[in-house]
Structure 1
Amino acid sequence: MEMERFTFKTWLSGILAFLMLTVVGETSGTEKNMALSGIERQVKTEAPEQKTTRTPLHTAIENGDMALAERYVSEKKWINDRDVFGLTPLHFTVIRDNQRLVKKLLLAGADTSLADHRGDTPLHMVAAHQGPLEIAQMLLDGGANINAINQQGGTPLHWAAGEGNLALVGLFLQRGAKPDITDVKGETPLHWAVDSSRLDVVRHLLRAGADPGRINLSGRSPLHLAAKNGQLDIATLLIERGVDLGTRGVSGDTPLHWAAGQGNVDMVRLFSMRIRDLNPRAKHGETPLHWAVFRGHYDVAALLIASGADCNAMDALGKTPLQLARAKGHEKIVQLLLPRSTLNTVDRTQKPAPVPNI
């Protein structure tokens, strides 16, 4: 999810930068080329001649010549033509936040469903760069598909949620956006909102019926992400909504594993007060205590032990938290575990302890 967002945001930023540069008459050709290079790195063309597909209408919009652009639109010229990136004049206008021209394009027959080479419609772009609510409304009134998916399965609601745009999230849900629609990684808009620490959006999605326990293709629920990112308020909200604290990822990891591995004492306390099993096993047999010890998180280890975690639990290689603490050189944790551990445990292998995926 993060890589998809980073790639698209980089690409969109390149387009925005180029459009801004072309408005400034004194901008050098070198600067323009630098702006374009960010775009070209993200899009592979079939043939060099495709780079000539930008129309006079595209050019007028990118040059900020709205009078000329409006003239072309009134003549219905190049309304739905695409450039090398698959961008239509409507894409260009949305990126520029020009409400007046968006309205004229729609009246002239601009197709809101046309997507660029990444599968993004103009409505995706409004959401991705936090464009005006009014433009989103115009596009929807003009027939835009609220649940359109791009090549990564992302919808406008995914982007609005990830960017924390509460107004757009509210509009999209009101206009029929599916709160539990998933991208190619199985992630819902709620996953995106949690991963971006958007508490208000999380709250709004939950009120709209989003499933707080929906897992992605890695088996992880939004609570896993909240635990991983240290979002205590979001984790509390999800728990209040009845999410299962024992949900396991495909690697056997629970939210408690992530909280322990990240050294988040408050998060571990929140979980440990609400679950019975403090020793769930991940893929290699590690408990949350193993994860805390591996990272050297003394306070978390102490809290887990005080809450009843098993100090003698062995991972798949027969290593206890004490043996792991010694191997990692965490002497303070060694002293914490020593009086609480059975000393006759046997290491079943000479191989190094598996590295938790944290």
Structure 2
Amino acid sequence: MSMDRQHIHPAFPWRGSSANAMSTQPNDTRSVDMCPKLHHAVCRGRTEEVLERLVPLHGAAAADKATGIIQHGRCDILEVTAAGNTVLHLAAEKGRDELIQELYIRFREKVKSLLSRQNSALDTPLHCAARAGSDKAVVVLVRLARECGESILGCKNEAGDTALHLAARHGHAKAVEALVSAATAVAAKLNNAGVSPLYLAVMSGSVEALKAITTCREASSVGPGLQNALHAAVFQRKAPKMVELLLKWRKALADEVDCNGSSPLHLASSDGDCKLVAAILRDAPSRTVYKKDLCGLSALHVAAQMGHHRVAELLLESCPDAAELRDNNGRTFLHAAANEKRSSVVSLAIKKFKDSKLRGLLDAQDRKGDTPLHLAVAAGAPGVVEALLRKGKVRVDVFNNDGKTPLDLAAESTSYFTMVSLVVMLGAFKAQTQPQRQDRLKPWDISNIMKGIEKTFNSLAVVAVLIAIAALAAGFNGDNGKANLERKPAFRIFPFLDTLAMATSMVAAILLVYGKSFVASLHCMWVSLNSLMLAFNEALVSVMPANYRFGLMVLTLKLEHRRTKFNNHMINALINVKIRIRTWIRK
């Protein structure tokens, strides 16, 4: 028996998951599985074939009430798929607007009942069209529902989504425009997650969908976690344009906070996008800058913590007194920057406050009595400490609530080299430790420091020996004990420099091994490295073409200048540390 001629299926009650779905089914609550050929014809948009299979034949379908068996010779428009989709669902999902229109003309009464028919996920044909972005099918379904007096625009599926939610989530701008123009009140509905169509449109990144929904003044902008659409717009690809549209539509969005107390400006400051922050500052109320989250952090605090100095500068230019805002720990944005080692923000604060009435913020103390200098020292940030001392001229004698100065905190550093840098830097600005009676002075534990110094001695001794070996090998590199380039004029100075490098490196190694003079050994290594570099430079010049020699000499001089500055800085630092250690040991 041909499949398209005869179908025998047991009748079954509708398998919908809600009472609402049950109420929208036919009165006999019977359904027939959809014919595969009808399914294919609808999906492919073959209108003539669909209509031919759906031609009503008198007596073609008969039901045996005792057995519950339905038999028919041709397809019925009420047939459904395994998921409960009708012919109208399939046509809407595939965007077959002409087929939907023709079905309505031929089977008006039955199609009228199918407009609000829900499948197993409680989707109506309008949901399917909106999800697929079939804007023409959306227009046809909305028009037919209006003619039939059916209210399907506000119908929700299993997730609580209306057709507008689905169109907005997928960024189908034309479908969104068609739905909004049909009923503006739908834009105010929320789904089961408490999310509005406007929020979903922003998340989709569709500016056109956003424009369509913002034509409704009563539209909702609510998102998850008490966020609004402006929160979502901050992190989109077309963020500045979306932010501009949303603030033009409703400026109060900039002043709303989420469940953590964060405003859209907080999120924009954390992202570090200057254009985005400028767009919010331009249209938002001035009080937005002063908003604090649950931790008491303002947008300026957030920018400082993330190291976005350009954003911080924009916020300070907009509201200079925002610098006085303090978080729940009594910290300003400068405290936050110092604690997170953000030297660029610290430099900005010094530049802004050095000669202004806010100069006192550089030495401001939080609830624990810590100044920005205390926090920078505790965080182990020599760069921030140097900026505060040299440019900010901050005080070094401030005690926190534990009675400790920045120098006391520097001595507690767990990193040897960081401790050395901080102690030398603070010592250069005459920083002092907490005053104590000499008989109650707690001896400073220098065991870790001495271990670090011992490792430094050993490492430098190895370096000195390697330099000596390199110099010795270079001096005897040739055939039969003779240098290959001895006749070159540029090579005449090579033996002298090579010998000097080897001799000074050996002296440095001896001084380091026997611990006679650390500073003298450093000077010897400095002479050795310079001599060795100049010796190799002479060797290279002797074998290179004349046009390359000048560039090589310039490069060598630049490298020598930079290395000399570094060596002098390290030598001075180590000398100061040695003096400081001796002083503490004597105490």
Question: TM-score per shorter chain, which class?
Answer: 0.7 to 0.9
Match of 1:114 in 2: 189
* Aligned CA distance change for structure 1 residues 118 and 326 (closer, same or farther; 3 Å): farther
How far apart in 2 are the matches of 1:138 and 1:271? Answer: 44
Cα pair 2:135 2:174 within 8 Å, conserved: no
Following superposition, the deviation at residue 271 of structure 1 comes to: 0.6
1:237 aligns with 2:314: yes
Cα pair 2:290 2:298 within 8 Å, conserved: yes
Cα pair 2:300 2:312 within 8 Å, conserved: yes
Pick the aligned partner of 1:302 from 374, 386, 406.
386
Q: Name the structure with the higher helix share.
A: 2
How far apart in 2 are the matches of 1:98 and 1:209? Answer: 29
Match of 1:26 in 2: none
* Aligned CA distance change for structure 1 residues 116 and 344 (closer, same or farther; 3 Å): same
How far apart in 2 are the matches of 1:213 and 1:96? Answer: 33
Pick the aligned partner of 1:155 from 209, 224, 228.
228
Following superposition, the deviation at residue 171 of structure 1 comes to: 1.6
- 1:223-302 correspondence runs (5 A): 223-244=300-321, 245-273=323-351, 274=353, 275-277=358-360, 278-302=362-386
Match of 1:201 in 2: 276
* Aligned CA distance change for structure 1 residues 105 and 149 (closer, same or farther; 3 Å): closer
Following superposition, the deviation at residue 73 of structure 1 comes to: 4.0
| Of 175-184 and 301-310, the range deviating more from structure 2 | 175-184
Following superposition, the deviation at residue 74 of structure 1 comes to: 4.2
Identity of aligned residues (%): 26
- 1:128-147 correspondence runs (5 A): 128-132=203-207, 134-145=208-219
How far apart in 2 are the matches of 1:310 and 1:293? Answer: 13
How far apart in 1 are the matches of 2:284 and 2:251? Answer: 12
Match of 2:397 in 1: 312
How far apart in 1 are the matches of 2:268 and 2:384? Answer: 27
Cα pair 2:407 2:432 within 8 Å, conserved: no
| Of 243-252 and 184-193, the range deviating more from structure 2 | 184-193
Cα pair 1:194 1:234 within 8 Å, conserved: yes
Pick the aligned partner of 1:326 from 411, 415, 419.
411
Give 1 or 2 for the bigger CA radius of gyration.
2
Match of 1:191 in 2: 266
How far apart in 1 are the matches of 2:175 and 2:280? Answer: 32
Following superposition, the deviation at residue 143 of structure 1 comes to: 4.6
Higher relative contact order (CA 8 A, sep 6+): 1
1:172 aligns with 2:255: no
Cα pair 1:161 1:198 within 8 Å, conserved: no
How far apart in 2 are the matches of 1:210 and 1:143? Answer: 19
Instruction: Please give the secondary structure, in 2, of the residue aligned with 1:324.
Output: helix
1:213 aligns with 2:289: yes
Cα pair 1:311 1:320 within 8 Å, conserved: yes
Instruction: Please give the secondary structure, in 1, of the residue aligned with 2:191.
Output: coil
How far apart in 2 are the matches of 1:83 and 1:293? Answer: 59
Following superposition, the deviation at residue 310 of structure 1 comes to: 2.6
Following superposition, the deviation at residue 63 of structure 1 comes to: 5.7
Instruction: Please give the secondary structure, in 1, of the residue aligned with 2:320.
Output: coil
How far apart in 1 are the matches of 2:235 and 2:266? Answer: 8
Following superposition, the deviation at residue 200 of structure 1 comes to: 1.2
* Aligned CA distance change for structure 1 residues 229 and 115 (closer, same or farther; 3 Å): same
Instruction: Please give the secondary structure, in 2, of the residue aligned with 1:182.
Output: coil
Q: Which sections of structure 2, spanning at least 5 residues, go unmatched? A: 1-119, 437-441, 443-587
How far apart in 2 are the matches of 1:215 and 1:69? Answer: 43
The count of corresponding residues between Structure 1 and Structure 2 is 295
Measured against aligned partners, the alpha-carbon deviations of 1:112-136 in whole angstroms (never above 9, x if no partner) come to: 111123322111112233222x222
Following superposition, the deviation at residue 319 of structure 1 comes to: 2.8
1:88 aligns with 2:177: no
How far apart in 1 are the matches of 2:242 and 2:133? Answer: 26
* Aligned CA distance change for structure 1 residues 161 and 65 (closer, same or farther; 3 Å): closer
Amino acid across the alignment from 1:124:
Y
How far apart in 2 are the matches of 1:271 and 1:160? Answer: 30
- 1:23-102 correspondence runs (5 A): 52-62=121-131, 72-76=141-145, 78-102=152-176
Q: Which sections of structure 1, spanning at least 5 residues, go unmatched? A: 1-50, 351-358
RMSD of aligned alpha carbons: 2.8
Amino acid across the alignment from 2:404:
K
How far apart in 2 are the matches of 1:82 and 1:258? Answer: 47
Cα pair 1:185 1:216 within 8 Å, conserved: no
| Of 263-272 and 103-112, the range deviating more from structure 2 | 103-112
How far apart in 2 are the matches of 1:299 and 1:246? Answer: 24
How far apart in 2 are the matches of 1:243 and 1:85? Answer: 47
* Aligned CA distance change for structure 1 residues 151 and 66 (closer, same or farther; 3 Å): closer
How far apart in 1 are the matches of 2:181 and 2:299? Answer: 41
